[in-house]
Homo-oligomer: A and B are copies of this chain.
Amino acid sequence: MNIGDAAEQAKLPRKTIRYYEEIGLINPLRSENGYRDYSPIDVHRLRFLQRSRSLGFTIEECRLLLSLYDDKHRASADVKAIAEAKVHEIDQKIKELTELKATLSALAHSCHGDRRPDCPIINDLAGGPCA
């Protein structure tokens, strides 16, 4: 199967697939004409990558997950630990963003938003809390 079809099945751009090959996450065979030739197993692997990435795992985490995927004797606990760490990370990020939003929307709210040049937002940015 050529890269176009593989891309469609894995729901990944061609460019991304070539990039994944470049960094050693996958390596398909080559046809006589030099075209990449993806087996169903390759496509499966690409799909694994697509899903892992969309769940927020970094490339390096994906690499690790793939190695666990390949290792038929790994313990499920290993995988679970990675997933839980990721959940924690995401949670932290959510907290940060929530605070950010509160600060910013308080600022926006305090601004009358008319034609006058006086603006609490700019004033805060200019001389805010760390002044």
Any chain B CB within 8 A of the CB of A33? no
Any chain B CB within 8 A of the CB of A107? yes
Known contacts: A55-B100, A56-B100, A101-B87. The answer to whether A77 contacts B126 by CB under 8 A is no
B residues less than 8 Å from A112 (CB atoms) = 76
Any chain B CB within 8 A of the CB of A117? yes
Asked if B68 contacts A122 (CB within 8 A), the reply is yes
Given B91, B104, B121, which contacts A76 in the complex, CB threshold below 8 Å? Answer: B121
How far, in angstroms, from A56 to B108 measured CA to CA in the complex? 14
Asked if A97 contacts B90 (CB within 8 A), the reply is yes
Given B11, B74, B117, B131, which contacts A75 in the complex, CB threshold below 8 Å? Answer: B117
